[in-house]
């Protein structure tokens, strides 16, 4: 059974705040939930399914369902780090297609900037691999540097090519009044920024911001009753990449599984995609993901992203809100905002300077965990709808 | 070979599955879990074979040699690693097959390269234990 077209994204909301010292994390979850429901033209009473990940305080999804006063007949707190919300979207679409639920609410919120370190992908000391990865000074950017170094070794990828990705994001972010970093940067500025873990520089990394976002997904039948433009979920995929039974491949992500699954379900190919939101914890994350999704051959990502290909008006406009690299990476988790900007593009509501003309088909991709160890990847393909 | 790198070397948390690995390291021996059903050399240490699903696993002596699969020179470490920067974080591909996370120590970080041959060293910690790191051959 295909679930393609059975569920629509009817409401999205991104919190405009990037520094939120005076509100709690539950308050942010509530604010983004209200925002997405308002956008859809629905209310909390319409919600019958709730989805959240480890950023939600409390016991799985139960505490926030209680806080929000929801009446749920489905709940899911799948945790795959920053991709969780795309996994939730796939699960919600399947439950809608099965007739189990009608209106799904998915929320993300966190305060890594002003509220201390959140749960963002932290590896619990009870994890069986813990003692074999925690003793060596591994941190988030150092892990991605291991992947970048190996990719450079195998395929000749350069720091300047990685910098192209940051440059494209920064050019987009200048049009986003909420962006945390709103000044365009050059390739030289990226490669001359301080080296954190060779070969990755400070400007190869995403921002650290407070904030959050939410999605409301509904059945096609309910979508038809709403006045707001809703975007059908045409394809979904999930992939789990591990240390591969002890033979880790640092040049591969879970997108090698999630991408083909999503394209097959949607019945489209990478060449059909008008706009792509690609998870961008670091520049290298984008480059490897583009290869694994099939936008170019494995190893050709460096050439693919060169010459402004990812900029608005380029071959594959990406992250037109500025992405995690410049705009927003709430709770250290970038998956939610990837879906939100894809919906803006399909609705023609991106900033005029970055809006893709006649955007009919958009892809959103999330990566959670770490390229250096194990990750959950998730891909959504959305249509324009009406 | 013992090599006191000066890097943070806390006492590793052990479990019933990993005690033999850490006890051997404390004695200056590098052992790897190996599946008695399919001969897969397992990493990270566990009493389960992720290759075939067998629980018939024994610890065997490792050669202690391999090559650098990837590495990074961490210029700005975090927490207690801040004062030890720059240091080299790496994946070493062991001659037995597994790729294990580790540090390359006792050398100028600029001398480390992917493909370089490396040798295991036992980096003593507190409480008589040791962490397995590598140096260039
Ligand atoms: Zn086996």
Strand B87-94 and strand B99-104: pairing? antiparallel
Task: Specify the residue for token string 């494209």.
Answer: A168
What is the CATH topology of the domain spanning A138-207+235-383? Peroxisomal Thiolase; Chain A, domain 1 (3.40.47)
Answering whether pTM is above 0.95, one says yes
Strand A231-241 and strand A375-383: pairing? antiparallel
**ipTM for this model:** 0.98
Give the pair of three-digit tokens for residue A26. 């539950």
Give the pair of three-digit tokens for residue A277. 């939101």
How close A251 gets to chain B, by Cα (Å)? 11
pLDDT digits (tens, 9 = 90+) for A141-197: 999 999 999 999 999 999 999 999 999 999 999 999 999 999 999 999 999 999 999
Largest CA distance in chain B: 45
Domain boundaries, chain A: 7-116+210-231, 138-207+235-383
Minimal Cβ distance to A150: which of B17, B40, B70? B70
**Mutation for B interface: A125, A133, A136, most B CBs within 10 A:** A136
How close B20 gets to chain A, by Cα (Å)? 14
Q: What is the arithmetic mean of pLDDT over A330-342?
A: 97
Judge whether residue A120 has pLDDT over 80: no
Residue A154 CB coordination number (10 Å): 14
* A20 conformational bin, left if phi > 0, alpha if psi -120 to 50, beta if neither: beta
Q: What is the arithmetic mean of pLDDT over A313-331?
A: 97
Q: Which residues pair with B136 in a beta bridge?
A: B118
Instruction: Give me the number of domains chain B comprises.
Output: 1
A355 φ, ψ to 5°? -65, 130
Rounded to an integer, what is the distance from CA A152 to the centroid of its chain? 25
**In CATH terms, are A7-116+210-231 and A138-207+235-383 the same topology?**
yes
The residue segments making up the domain with residue B95 are 19-136
pLDDT number for residue A205: 98
Question: What does pLDDT average to over chain A?
Answer: 96
A248·B91 Cβ contact <8 A: yes
Give yes or no for a contact between A376 and A81, defined as CB atoms under 8 angstroms apart: yes
Q: Is residue B10 part of a domain?
A: no
pLDDT digits (tens, 9 = 90+) for A267-286: 999 999 999 999 999 999 99
Distances in Å between the alpha carbon of A337 and those of A209, A268, A333? 12, 23, 9
B74·A145 Cβ contact <8 A: yes
Chain A residues with CB-CB distance to B110 below 8 A:
none
**Which band of pLDDT confidence, cut at 50, 70 and 90, is reported for residue A1?**
low
Q: Is A126 helix (H, G, I), strand (E, B) or coil?
A: coil
**CB-defined contacts A:B, below 8 A:** 109
Judge whether residue A124 has pLDDT over 70: no
CA separation for the pair B38, B60 (Å, rounded): 14
**C-alpha torsion B59→B60→B66→B69, nearest 10:** -30
Q: CATH classification of A7-116+210-231, choosing from 3.30.750.24, 3.40.50.10490, 3.40.47.10, 3.50.50.60?
A: 3.40.47.10
Q: Is A378 helix (H, G, I), strand (E, B) or coil?
A: strand
Q: Is A120 helix (H, G, I), strand (E, B) or coil?
A: coil
């Amino acid at each position: 059974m295909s679930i393609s077209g059975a569920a629509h994204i009817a409401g999205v909301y991104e919190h405009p705040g990037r520094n939120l010292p005076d509100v709690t994390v539950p308050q942010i979850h509530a604010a983004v939930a209200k925002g997405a429901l308002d956008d859809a033209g629905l209310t909390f009473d319409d919600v019958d399914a709730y989805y959240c990940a480890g950023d939600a305080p409390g016991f799985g999804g139960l505490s926030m369902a209680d806080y929000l006063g929801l009446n749920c007949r489905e709940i899911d707190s799948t945790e795959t780090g920053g991709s969780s919300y795309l996994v939730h979207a796939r699960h919600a679409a399947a439950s809608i297609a099965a007739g189990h639920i009608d209106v799904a609410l998915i929320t993300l919120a966190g305060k890594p900037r002003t509220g201390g370190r959140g749960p963002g992908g932290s590896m619990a000391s009870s994890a069986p691999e813990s003692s074999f990865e925690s003793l060596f000074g591994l941190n988030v950017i150092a892990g991605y540097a291991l992947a970048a170094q190996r990719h450079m070794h195998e395929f000749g990828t350069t720091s300047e090519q990685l910098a192209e990705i940051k440059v494209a994001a920064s050019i987009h972010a200048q049009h986003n009044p909420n962006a945390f970093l709103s000044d365009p940067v050059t390739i030289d500025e990226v490669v001359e920024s301080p080296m954190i873990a060779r070969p990755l520089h400070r400007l190869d990394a995403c921002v650290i911001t407070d904030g959050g976002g939410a999605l409301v997904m509904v059945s096609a039948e309910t979508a038809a009753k709403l006045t707001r433009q809703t975007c059908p979920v045409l394809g979904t995929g999930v992939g789990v990449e591990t240390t591969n039974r002890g033979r880790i491949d640092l040049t591969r992500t879970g997108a090698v599984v999630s991408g083909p699954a999503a394209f097959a379900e949607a019945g489209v190919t990478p060449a059909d995609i008008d706009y792509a939101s690609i998870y961008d914890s670091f520049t290298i994350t984008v480059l490897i993901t583009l290869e694994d999704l099939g936008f170019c051959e494995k190893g050709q990502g460096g050439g693919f992203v060169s010459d402004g290909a990812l900029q608005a008006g380029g071959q594959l406009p990406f992250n037109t809100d500025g992405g995690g690299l410049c705009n927003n990476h709430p709770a250290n988790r970038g998956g939610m905002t990837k879906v939100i900007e894809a919906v803006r593009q399909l609705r023609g509501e991106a900033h005029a300077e970055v809006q893709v003309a006649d955007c009919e088909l958009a892809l959103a991709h999330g990566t959670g965990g770490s390229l250096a160890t194990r990750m959950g990847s998730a891909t959504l393909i959305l249509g324009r709808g009406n | 070979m013992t090599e006191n790198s000066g890097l943070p070397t806390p006492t590793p948390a052990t479990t019933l599955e990993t005690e033999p690995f850490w006890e051997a390291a404390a004695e200056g021996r590098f052992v790897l879990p190996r599946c008695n059903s399919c001969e897969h050399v397992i990493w990270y240490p566990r009493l389960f074979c992720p290759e075939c699903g067998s629980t018939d696993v024994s610890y065997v002596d490792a050669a202690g040699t391999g090559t650098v699969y990837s590495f990074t020179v961490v210029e700005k470490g975090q927490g207690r690693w801040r004062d030890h920067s720059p240091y080299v974080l790496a994946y070493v591909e062991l001659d037995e097959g597994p790729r294990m996370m580790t540090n390359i120590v006792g050398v100028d970080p600029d001398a480390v390269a992917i493909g370089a041959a490396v040798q295991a060293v036992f980096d003593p910690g507190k409480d008589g234990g040791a962490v397995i790191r590598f140096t260039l051959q």
